[in-house]
Amino acid sequence: MKTISVVIPAYNEASNIEAVFCKVRHVFDSLADYAFEVIFVNDGSSDGSGHMLQKLAAENTAVKYIEFSRNFGHQLALKAGMDHASGDAVISMDCDMQHPPEMIGQMIAEWEQGYDIVFTLRSYAKKAPRFKRCSSRFYYKFINTISDVKIEEGSADFRLLDRSVVNVLNNIEDKEPFLRGLTRWVGFSQKAIYYTADERFSGESKYSLKKMLRLAMTGITSFSTKPLHIAVYLGFFFAAMSLLYIPYVIWSFVYDVEISGWASLIMTIVFFGGLQLVILGILGIYIGKIFKQTKNRPAYIIKNKNF
């Protein structure tokens, strides 16, 4: 009998945990040929999610939980769940029913057809916040122009991975994993399926704007060095422009032509000052990534787990 591990990161999801588990269990009731385990990763919740998980685990042997020592973020919670999963396939999904558990059956069916990765593409329900829909669309357009892996618009961390893929991912020591990119980057045979994301079952989005921007940045810097190339091209471009300008300045000296230009001077200084800071910042982001990686601290810390 094959086992499926369902990995669910939870950050302050006390009001969702039980409902999500019941739904998943219900789905597996109709998939009698498979055993399942649900691994909840409590990402430093402060709302009683921990108690909720202990209670649920005491009542159901299929419930496993991992408790982080603090909030490490969604991506690392997923990574921890995958590191500890024992199934022949691992399904990751959110703890808010925006990823419909009913899709699990279809995912397993595609996996049985021989696909190693079954990933999902979301279209937002009309009710979803306009900002979220637009920013997500823009982001995927942008990341696909700039990075070396193709990440489809509407990608989310709702996917099935075969054991062989999970083993590969578990051996990747990335302190800031971006799983939407990594799972495309590893290759294997992949299949997309589609769904519409509903509203959250309960509670509010746990992705603050800050967390969203950080994830977006990680996505770009993990799979591309193009921002650095762009800096070099810009440098060459403006250096070439200055070569055109220098003869003009010399000419004005020779013929004693007075050039007035306070405004243009200030604009040039401000513009290039800004541009240099931006480029320094881009360099800094990559150096920061090297720093994080070389310190070699564990990517996440587990306080407690029940298996």
Residue ranges binding ligand UDP (CB under 6 A): 9-11, 13, 43, 71, 73-74, 77, 94-96, 98, 205-207
Rounded to whole angstroms, the Cα distance separating 297 from 5 reads 27
User: Using DSSP, how many helices (H) and how many strands (E) does the chain show?
Assistant: 10, 8
| Nearer to ligand UDP (CB atom), residue 211 or residue 292 | 211
Rounded to whole angstroms, the Cα distance separating 227 from 286 reads 10
Out of 13, 37, 43, 96, which residue is the one contacting Mg ion (CB under 5 A)?
Answer: 96
When CB distances are held under 5 to 8 angstroms depending on the partner's kind, the choice from ligand UDP, Mg ion, none that residue 4 binds is none
| Nearer to Mg ion (CB atom), residue 211 or residue 226 | 211
When CB distances are held under 5 to 8 angstroms depending on the partner's kind, the choice from Mg ion, ligand UDP, none that residue 11 binds is ligand UDP
Out of 13, 43, 94, 176, which residue is the one contacting Mg ion (CB under 5 A)?
Answer: 94
Q: Taking the complex as a whole, how short is the minimal distance between the CB of residue 57 and ligand UDP, in angstroms? A: 18
Q: Taking the complex as a whole, how short is the minimal distance between the CB of residue 98 and ligand UDP, in angstroms? A: 5
User: In the bound complex, which residue of the shown chain has the CB atom lying closest to Mg ion?
Assistant: 98
| Nearer to ligand UDP (CB atom), residue 95 or residue 166 | 95
The helix or strand, by DSSP H or E, that contains position 248, with its residue range, turns out to be helix 226-254
Q: Taking the complex as a whole, how short is the minimal distance between the CB of residue 298 and Mg ion, in angstroms? A: 27
Q: Please, how many CA atoms are within 13 Å of residue 197, restricted to the half-sphere of its CB? A: 23
| 99 closest CA partner among 138, 154, 151, 31 | 154
Out of 5, 49, 92, 98, which residue is the one contacting Mg ion (CB under 5 A)?
Answer: 98
The token pair at 54 is 């202990």
Please give the angle made by the CA atoms of 290, 294 and 298, to the nearest 5 degrees: 115
Strand residue runs (E) in 99-258: 117-124, 155-162, 190-197
157 touching Mg ion, by CB under 5 A: no
> Per CB under 5 A, which region of 91-99, 121-129, 146-154, 174-182 contacts Mg ion?
91-99
Amino acid letter, 238: F
Q: Please, how many CA atoms are within 13 Å of residue 276, restricted to the half-sphere of its CB? A: 6
| Nearer to ligand UDP (CB atom), residue 16 or residue 115 | 16
| Nearer to ligand UDP (CB atom), residue 180 or residue 206 | 206
The token pair at 200 is 């959250």
Q: Which residues form the interface with Mg ion (CB under 5 A)?
A: 94, 96, 98
